[in-house]
């Protein structure tokens, strides 16, 4: 009897929590189908329903809404960021985990200290450096911003590679494989979960980032922006009453691919990270 009560109670608590966690998401989706463009402050669900916000997003670009252009910009930046970051991260992780050379510990300590410096602060100097190179307001500049420092984020991948048995590498070396071959043919194929995790997490950076894009893409030309900046701009005080529902529609569209990738990433994260850390 007591167990049944407990079990019912537990499910009720879970249900209440789930509702709390999903209210904003439900509001987002509901408002995106609203027939009214501004914020509906009287009712949770819209009074009239329509698809007009979505058609405005894709078919009627104006000086404020350039959704297709934003999506394209973000996608291009994300693809290149993803390639470069993944390569850098894996290269550094392999070096730190599998190779032994003078200064390795020093480089590791140094990079941990370097990572502590507030990113927001150094970004302002990065902005000036890129500006003097003429790279602000360009895709190339954004790709550099997102991916150049990615070598510092090697710790998770290194932690995973540490769990690959050293005997495998030694066996390969005895058979005459070079270090480069061991990297490609032995360690990388065994690091699949962490590679997928690195790929997805670096792909997601440009979609979720707001601060850097706001600093770097300051030309005021809306077709240069990324999705995050574009959507943020729609909520400007002078625009919010005309664009709030369109913002919600844009939020829904960008969230669909992102959440799918995020869920996949979580699966690999749990496999890769907890798999590695728990053994310790």
Partner 1 sequence: MKKISKLFSSIGNYFKNFGVSLAKGDIWVKSSLVVMGAGYFARKQIINGIIMLLVEAAFIFMCIFYAAPNLAKFGTLGTVQFEQTFDPLTMTSTVNDYDNSFLILLNSIVALFIMLVFLFVYIQNIKSVYKLQQKKEEGIHINNFREDVRAMFNDRFHITLMTLPAIGVVLMNILPILVLIAVAFTNYDQAHMPPNSLFTWVGIRNFKNLFTNSVTVTFGYAFGKILVWTLIWAVLATFTTFLGGILLAKIINNKRTKLPKMWRTLFIIAIAVPQFVTLLLVRNFFADSGIVNTICSNVGITDFLKNIGLVSPNLTYIPFLTNPNWAKVMIVLINIWVGVPYQMLIATGVLMNIPEDQIECAKIDGANNFQIFWKITMPYIMFIQGPALITDFVKNINNFNVIYLLTQDVFVTSDQLLANSNAKEVDLLVTWLFRLTNEYYNYKMASVIGICVFIICAAFTLITFTRMIKGDREEVFQ
Interacting residues with partner 1 between 172 and 191 (CB under 8 A): 178-180, 183
Q: Which of 81, 86, 97, 222 binds partner 1 (CB under 8 A)?
A: 97
**60 binds partner 1 per the rule CB under 8 A:** no
- Give whichever of 189 and 280 is closer to partner 1, judged by the CB atom: 280
Alpha-carbon gap, residue 255 to 208, rounded angstroms: 10
Instruction: Please answer whether residues 160 and 194 qualify as being in contact, where contact means their C-beta atoms are separated by less than 8 angstroms.
Output: yes
**Nearest distance, CB of residue 182 and partner 1, angstroms:** 9
Q: Which of 47, 50, 55, 122 binds partner 1 (CB under 8 A)?
A: 122
Q: Which of 10, 185, 192, 242 binds partner 1 (CB under 8 A)?
A: 10
Binding to partner 1 (CB under 8 A) within 192-251 occurs at: 207-208, 210-211, 214-215, 228, 231-232, 235, 237, 240, 244, 247-248, 251
**Nearest distance, CB of residue 77 and partner 1, angstroms:** 15
Binding to partner 1 (CB under 8 A) within 126-165 occurs at: 126, 128-129, 132, 144-145, 147-152, 162-165
- 3-class SS string, the chain: CHHHHHHHHHHHHHHHHHHHHHHHHHHHHHHHCECCCCCCCCCCCCCCECCHHHHHHHHCCCCCCCHHHHHHHHHHHHHHHHHHHHHHHHHHHHHHHHCCCCCHHHHHHHHHHHHCCCHHHHHHHHHHHHHHCCCCCCHHHHHHHHHHHHHHHHHHHHHHHCCCCHHHHHHHHHCCCCHHHHHHHHHHHHCHHHHHHHHHHHHHHHHHCCHHHHHHCCCCCHHHCCHHHHHHHHCCCCCHHHHHHHHHHHHHHHHHHHHHHHHHHHHHHHHHHHHHHHHC
With CB under 8 A, what is the number of residues at the site for partner 1? 99
- Give whichever of 67 and 183 is closer to partner 1, judged by the CB atom: 183
**58 binds partner 1 per the rule CB under 8 A:** no
**118 binds partner 1 per the rule CB under 8 A:** yes
**Nearest distance, CB of residue 91 and partner 1, angstroms:** 4
- Give whichever of 75 and 123 is closer to partner 1, judged by the CB atom: 123
**Nearest distance, CB of residue 130 and partner 1, angstroms:** 9
- Give whichever of 72 and 162 is closer to partner 1, judged by the CB atom: 162
**64 binds partner 1 per the rule CB under 8 A:** no
Other beta carbons within 10 angstroms of residue 69's beta carbon come to 18
Instruction: Please answer whether residues 87 and 97 qualify as being in contact, where contact means their C-beta atoms are separated by less than 8 angstroms.
Output: no
**51 binds partner 1 per the rule CB under 8 A:** no
**Nearest distance, CB of residue 126 and partner 1, angstroms:** 5
């Amino acid at each position: 009897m007591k167990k049944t009560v407990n079990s019912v109670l537990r499910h009720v608590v879970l249900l209440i929590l789930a509702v709390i966690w999903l209210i904003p998401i439900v509001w987002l989706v509901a408002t995106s189908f609203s027939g009214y463009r501004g914020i509906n402050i009287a009712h949770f669900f819209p009074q009239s329903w329509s698809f007009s916000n979505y058609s405005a997003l894709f078919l009627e670009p104006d000086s404020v809404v350039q959704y297709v252009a934003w999506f394209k910009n973000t996608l291009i930046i994300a693809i290149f960021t993803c390639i470069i970051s993944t390569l850098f991260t894996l290269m550094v992780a392999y070096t730190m985990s599998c190779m032994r050379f003078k200064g390795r510990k020093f480089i590791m300590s140094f990079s941990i200290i370097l990572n502590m410096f507030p990113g927001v602060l150094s970004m302002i100097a990065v902005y000036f450096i890129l500006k003097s190179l003429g790279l602000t307001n360009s895709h190339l500049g954004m790709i550099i911003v997102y991916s150049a420092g990615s070598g510092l984020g090697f710790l998770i991948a290194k932690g995973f590679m540490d769990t690959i048995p050293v005997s495998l590498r030694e066996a390969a070396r005895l058979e005459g494989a070079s270090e480069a071959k061991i990297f490609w043919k032995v360690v990388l194929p065994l690091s699949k979960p962490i590679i997928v995790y690195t790929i997805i997490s670096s792909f997601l950076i440009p979609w979720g980032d707001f601060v850097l894009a706001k600093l770097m893409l300051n030309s005021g030309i809306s077709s240069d922006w990324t999705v995050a900046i574009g959507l943020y701009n729609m909520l400007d005080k002078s625009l919010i009453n005309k664009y709030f529902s369109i913002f919600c529609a844009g939020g829904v569209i960008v969230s669909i691919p992102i959440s799918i990738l995020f869920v996949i990433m979580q699966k690999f994260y749990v496999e890769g990270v907890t798999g590695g850390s728990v053994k310790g």
